[in-house]
Amino acid sequence: MKKLLLTVIAAMITFSANAETRLVLPPLPLDQYLDSLYLNHSMGFRVGTPTTQQNVTIDTKELYIRREYSQYSVGLLIPSLEIGVAQLNANDLHGYNYSFGPSVSIPLAGFGSKLQLVASGKVHWLTRHDFGRKRYGGPVQWTYAFGGKYQMQGNTYVEYMWSHMSNGDRYEYNPALETHNFTIGVNF
């Protein structure tokens, strides 16, 4: 086994010593080249506030990671998966929200467009679903969301999404929560 390993290492060293090595620079200036790279992962911080007056003060904060699968695009429709961790706050009570689900984006002016329409649907697990005067019925919730995304300088983007969270009448209580969500994120 040791002899085989030494033979493989010797062959690799011989191959690399004989290989022609030279640096090939992109035809663009480096900053333009880096801006043109397709980055299919993104991480964002999203804050949300209810669209209507609630009987308690509610807000959400979410950190998520999204992975685009452009190789499975249908026309301009780009599918992706999103996983997130959020904090749901109602008055002075806090609970965590773990979520996972598909999302899609549609560049408005073709691939490479700075402006995109986005939509998602996720399943959520709430660590706390009873906030006293505000109850969500149970731990399993579903959301769907629609909005827009604008790619700013380099790999930074901002996003707005309207979101609807509900348990789909799975429990005795089903008070839907609709929120305006604002995001700042980076592609990597």
- Reported as a single tens digit per residue, the pLDDT across 66-111 is 999 988 999 889 999 999 999 999 999 999 999 999 999 999 987 7
Given a contact cutoff of 8 angstroms between Cβ atoms, the answer to whether 131 and 95 are in contact is yes
- Per DSSP, the three-state class of 130 is strand
Kindly report, residue by residue over 146-159, the tens digit of the pLDDT: 999 999 987 899 99
Kindly report, residue by residue over 25-75, the tens digit of the pLDDT: 557 787 776 666 668 999 999 999 999 999 899 999 999 999 999 889 998
The model's pTM is 0.78
Domains of the chain as residue ranges with CATH? 29-187 (2.40.160.20)
Name, in order, each residue with C-beta under 8 angstroms of 109's C-beta and a sequence gap of 6 or more: 115
- Per DSSP, the three-state class of 17 is helix
Residue of 91, 58, 74, 72 lying closest to 165 (CA atoms): 58
